Chains A and B, each alone.
Chain A
Amino acid sequence: MTLLTALARALAAEAGRAQPIRTVRHVHLSGRPLVFIPLQLAGEACAPLAAMAGDDRDKPRMLTVYEPRDRTQRFDFAADLAEVVLGYIDSYTTADPGPEAPYPDAPQVLVPNNGGISFTRLLSRSTRFRRTEGEYAVRQSVPLLGRWLNFYSERSEAPASALLLSMTAVLADHWASGQSATEDANLAALLGWIDPPEGMTGAAAARAAEDPVRCPPAGPATDPTFDNEVLAARIGAIRAAKARGDGAALQRAQLALETVLKTQLEPTWELMWRAVDLLGALPAGGHVEDRWQADRRAFTGHVNWLRQGNPPAPRKDSAVAAASKLARMERDQQRLAVQRAYDDPLVMAEYRLTSDAFAGIVVDAQPDRLDTSGKRAKLRPWITVETSDEVIAGPGTEFASPGRPGQQAHVIGVAPDGERTRVILELQSGMGRSLTPPPGSVPAVGEAVTYTTLTDDFQRGPTFPQIADTPWTHGGPPPQYPGGADEDATEEWS
C-alpha cells in the first residue's frame, strides 16, 4: 500500500467506481491464455470437484468429478485436465527455436485468485510423484501434468513472472477499488468496481456480486449453501444410482451434477475473459516484453529439462536451493520495482512523493560543457531542471532518467526558486565517444524530464555452494532423488 494507491481508494469510494493506479499494463498478457477455474470439495486437502479450462472463450472445456472422494476419479480428473493443459503447452513447442534460443512464445495460465494458485500447487504435489505402473498406477499424463503445474506454481512465486497469474491480484495491481483488499479477493466484486454494468455504480455492482446465490464464488471453494442445498443431493443421487446398479439413473444423475456445477463455473468463466479484455486494453509497459522473454527462457528450459529425462522437483527445496531462490527473488523484486517506475509515470510518482525522484522542465543546458580538470578533457554537460517536487538530495548524489537509462546525472547544486526548485545536474555516459554530444543525447531546454535515484544496476547476488556441497549445518547434501515416490504412492487416500 502506497499513499497514491490509498488516495486512489479514497477517490474510488467517493466516485463509486474503481480508479486507475497505473498508466500501462505491467504484466505480459498472452493473445491466447489458458483460463483455468478449479473447484474443490470442501474439507479435503485437494479433492477436485470440477474445473473449467481452455484457451478459447467460446469453447470452455468442463471437467467433472462425480465422486470427489474416490481417488481413482481424482486421477481421472487429472488425466482429463492433462489433456487440456498439456495439449495447450505442446502447441507452443512445435517450432524448433534453434540452440540456446527460447521458444518464440510461451503458454500463459490465468486463474481467478490466489486460491487458484494454491490449488495448482497442491494438485501438482499430489500428481507429480505418482507412478504409471504397479499397484496405484495412474495414466501416463498425470505425473507429467504434475510436473508442469509445479513449474507454473514455482514461477508464480517469482515476482517478475507472468506465466501463471491470479486475476484478482493483477486487477488490483492496476486499479484501486473503493473497498478493502480483503474484499478485492472476490473477482466478481472487484470487476464490479472496475467495470460495473450500465446504470449501476461500482459500489452497488460489488455488493450485488457478494451474494453467493446469484453470483457464485470464483473457487476453488464453493459456497456452503450450494454444497448443502444443491451439491449434496446431486452427489447423493449418483451414489444411490450406483448402489442400485441403475445405469440409466446414474447417467441422469451425472448429467444433473454437471448442470449444477456448470452454474457455479460459467459466471466466473465470463468474468475471467472480461478481465482479459480490460487488461488487454491497457498498453504494455516498456519492460514487459523483457520480462516475458525471461519467462519464455524459463519455459524453454523446462521443456528441455523434461526431455532430458530429469526427475521431478522434490517436495521441499534443499537448503541451498531455498536460500538461492530467496536471494534471487529479492533481487528480482527490486529490479521489478525499478522497471515499473521507469515504465509508468504514475508509479514513478510514488518516488517523487518520497523525494527519491523529481520531474520538471529543463530551463538551461550546456550540452558542450567539458571537464578539463584531468589529463584529458571529458564531455560533462550541465543541465538545470526546474521542478515543483521536493528535492532533498545533496551535491554528488547520483540520479538517472527513465528517458536516458544509460546516462548518469550527478547533482551539482540545488537552489529553491520561489515555489519551485532548480537542480543543476552534471551528465555522464550515453553520449558517444567524441566531445560533442549527438543530438538528443542531452536533454534540451524546454524538455520534460524525470530523474530518480532508482537504478537498474542491481547488485550481484551472493554465491551459494553447489547442492552437493551443502554444509552439514543445513542438513548436508540432499539425497539424489528427493521426494520418496514410493512412500507417496502408498499414501492412503480418504
Chain B
Amino acid sequence: MDPTEARLAKLRGSVMPRRHDARTISALAANPGCGRRALMDAAGVDKQKLAAYTGYPAPFGQSQFAIARGNAFEAQVKENGAAQLLSLLREHLSLDVAEAYYTDLGDVGGNEASEVRHVRTRQLLATVDENLGTMFDHPLLRLRVGGRHAYLEPDLIAFQLHGKFSIIEIKSFAVIDDQADPVKVAAAATQSAVYVLALRDLLGSDDKVRDETILVCPENFSNKPVATSIDVRKQLTVIKRQLSRIARIEDLLSSCPEDLTVDLEPDENGIPRRSPGEVEGAIRQIAANYAPECLSTCELCYLCREEAQGSTGALGKQVREELGGIEQVTTVLGLARGAAPSPDREEVAAVLAKAAGLREDLL
C-alpha cells in the first residue's frame, strides 16, 4: 500500500470502503471545490452513516413508489428482447432492420459476480463484429475512483451502425409536451457521462463511444417511451476534472493531521468505539466548502451547514456576492453599523452603512 492509500485507509478506519456507483460518482461533480467531500469520497467513507452517527442524518431517501415505477418502466422498455427500445432506436438513430441483436450480460453462464461479468463485458464489447451486436443489456463497466475500481451498471448500451457505441439511460420521469424536469435531466446527463467515461476506459478509445447519450423516458402521462439525445461533453469535463482531483488527493491529505480518522469501528455491542463528538471533531479538521446546493447532493450537508452558521455563504452565493464577498455575517453587520473598515473594504463598507441607515429610517 502506498503512503497515500495508507493515509486514506487510516482516515476511513476499519470499516469496508463504500462502493461507488454512477450516482455517487455523479455527485462528485456537484461541489468540486469541497476538500472534505473529495477526501471522504477518495477514502470510500460511508458519508451517510457518518452523518447519521454524528447526529446530522442526511435529508435524502427514496420512496419505494418511485423505485417501483422506475423498475417497471425499465422492464417494460426492455421486455421481449427490448422490442420497444429497438423501435425507438430505429426511429431515432435510423438503425437498419438487420441490426436487432440483443445480448444480456446480466450473468455469465449463471454467474453474476461483478468481476466475471466485467471480464465478459470487455471481451464481448471489444471484439464483437460491428454487424453482430446491437443492444447490450446489463453490461458491467468500471471506473477508477481514488485508487479503487467502482463497478457501474448502465441501463443499456446500444451498439450503432458504424462501430460506435452509445450509452442509453432509461429513466421513468415523464417528458410532457417535449419538456422534462430540468433537474432530473441534468442528473441523468451526468450519470450517463460517467458511463461514457467508463466505457471509453474499457475500450481504451474515446472515439468508439459517442458524446451524445440517449435518454429514454415515458412520454406525457402514458407509458410510451420516447428517446432524446443529450450532449454530455460538459459533464464529461467536470467529472474527469474531479476524478483527477481525487487521484491527486495527496495535496488535500497534506493539510490534515497524520493520524486523522473518522473510524466507526464497532465494539462488541455493535456501537462505534469513538463518541459522535470525537468523530465530528475529526470531520471538522478537514476543510469543507458548504453551499446551500449541498443540501440536495451531499450526505454531510447538515453537519457542514451547522459548521457554516454565521457565514454569508450559508445564506447563498448571491447573498454573499451582494455583501461584497465578505465571509462572516458579524463582519458585514459590524461594517454596516459603522466599524472602521480595512482599506480594501472602504467602498463596500460605505454602501453597507448607507443600506443599514436606510433600513433604520424606513422601518
- Residues on A lying within 8 angstroms of B by beta carbon are 1-11, 13-14, 20, 23, 41-46, 122, 125-126, 178-183, 210, 212, 222-225, 227-228, 231-232, 315-316, 345-346, 349, 352-353, 488, 491-494
Contact = CB atoms under 8 A, between A and B. Distances in A.
A367 to B, nearest CB: 27
Contacts of B315: 6, 9-10, 13, 178-180
Contact of B221 (A45, A223, A316): A45
B35 interface: no
The 9 closest A-B pairs by CB, nearest first: A43-B69, A43-B66, A45-B174, A224-B61, A180-B292, A42-B63, A6-B322, A227-B63, A1-B318
Interface in B296-336: 296, 309-310, 312, 314-316, 318-319, 321-323, 329-330, 332-333, 336
Nearest to B66: A43
Nearest to B291: A180
Contacts of A231: 65
Q: Point out which of B68, B176, B330 has the most chain A C-beta atoms below 10 A from its C-beta.
A: B176
Nearest to A49: B65
B336 A7 contact: yes
B127 interface: no
Contact of B316 (A180, A232, A491, A492): A180
A14 B333 contact: yes
A234 to B, nearest CB: 12
A181 B220 CA distance: 31
A485 B235 CA distance: 39
B342 interface: no
Given A45-B174, A349-B358, A494 B333 contact: no
Contact of B333 (A4, A10, A210): A10
Contact of A3 (B70, B220, B221, B351): B351
Interface in B329-363: 329-330, 332-333, 336, 351-352, 354-356, 358-359, 362-363
B323 A10 contact: yes
A182 B221 CA distance: 29
Binding site secondary structure of chain A = helix
B295 interface: yes
A482 to B, nearest CB: 11
A2 B222 contact: no
Contacts of A352: 358
Given A42-B66, A210-B59, A227-B63, A7 B362 contact: no
B65 A345 contact: no
Given A45-B174, A125-B177, A182 B293 contact: yes
A491 B220 contact: yes
B181 to A, nearest CB: 9
Given A126-B221, A179-B315, A228-B64, A494 B362 contact: no
A353 B65 contact: no
B138 to A, nearest CB: 22
Contacts, number: 154
B329 A13 contact: yes
Given A46-B174, A493-B221, A494-B69, 5 more contacts: A10-B319, A23-B362, A227-B64, A349-B359, A492-B224
A217 to B, nearest CB: 10
A493 B355 contact: no
A45 B62 contact: no
Contact of A222 (B63, B67, B73, B178): B63
A41 B218 CA distance: 16
Contacts of B60: 224
Interface of B: 59-70, 72-73, 172-174, 176-178, 218, 220-224, 292-293, 295-296, 309-310, 312, 314-316, 318-319, 321-323, 329-330, 332-333, 336, 351-352, 354-356, 358-359, 362-363
A182 B318 contact: no
Given A4-B358, A349-B359, A491-B221, A43 B68 contact: yes
Nearest to A353: B355
Contacts of A125: 176-177, 221
B61 A225 contact: yes
Contacts of A181: 292, 316, 318
B222 A492 contact: yes
A122 B173 CA distance: 13
A44 B63 contact: no
B223 A23 contact: no
Q: Point out which of A9, A20, A45, A346 has the most chain B C-beta atoms below 10 A from its C-beta.
A: A45
A225 B52 CA distance: 15
Contacts of A13: 309-310, 314-315, 329
A222 B65 CA distance: 11
Contact of A232 (B64, B70, B359): B64
A420 B293 CA distance: 43
Contact of B70 (A41, A43, A346): A43
Binding site secondary structure of chain B = helix
Contact of A346 (B73, B172, B356, B363): B363
Contact of A14 (B59, B62, B330): B330
A46 B224 CA distance: 15
22 contacts: A3-B351, A6-B315, A6-B319, A7-B323, A9-B316, A14-B329, A42-B65, A43-B172, A44-B65, A45-B174, A46-B174, A46-B221, A180-B292, A180-B314, A210-B59, A224-B61, A316-B177, A349-B359, A353-B351, A492-B222, A494-B72, A494-B73
B351 A6 contact: no
B149 to A, nearest CB: 30
B49 to A, nearest CB: 17
Nearest to B318: A1
Contacts of B312: 6, 10
B177 A180 contact: no
Nearest to B312: A10
A45 B63 contact: no
A231 B64 CA distance: 10
Contacts of B178: 316
A227 to B, nearest CB: 4
Contacts of A126: 221
A346 B362 contact: yes
Contacts of B62: 224
A9 B319 contact: yes
Nearest to A212: B59
Contacts of B73: 494
Contacts of B316: 1, 9, 180-182
Given A6-B318, A7-B332, A182-B316, A224 B63 contact: yes
Contacts of B61: 223-225, 228
Contacts of A225: 61
Nearest to A7: B355
Q: Point out which of B312, B318, B321 has the most chain A C-beta atoms below 10 A from its C-beta.
A: B318
Contacts of A42: 63, 65-66, 69
A223 B69 CA distance: 17
Nearest to B177: A315
B295 A492 contact: no
Contacts of A179: 314-315
Nearest to B316: A180
A425 B217 CA distance: 63
Nearest to A71: B221
Contacts of A182: 292-293, 295-296, 316
B329 A183 contact: no
Contacts of B352: 3, 7
Nearest to B57: A211
A349 B218 contact: no
B63 A43 contact: yes
A8 B319 CA distance: 10
Q: Point out which of A2, A7, A210, A231 has the most chain B C-beta atoms below 10 A from its C-beta.
A: A7
A324 B62 CA distance: 41
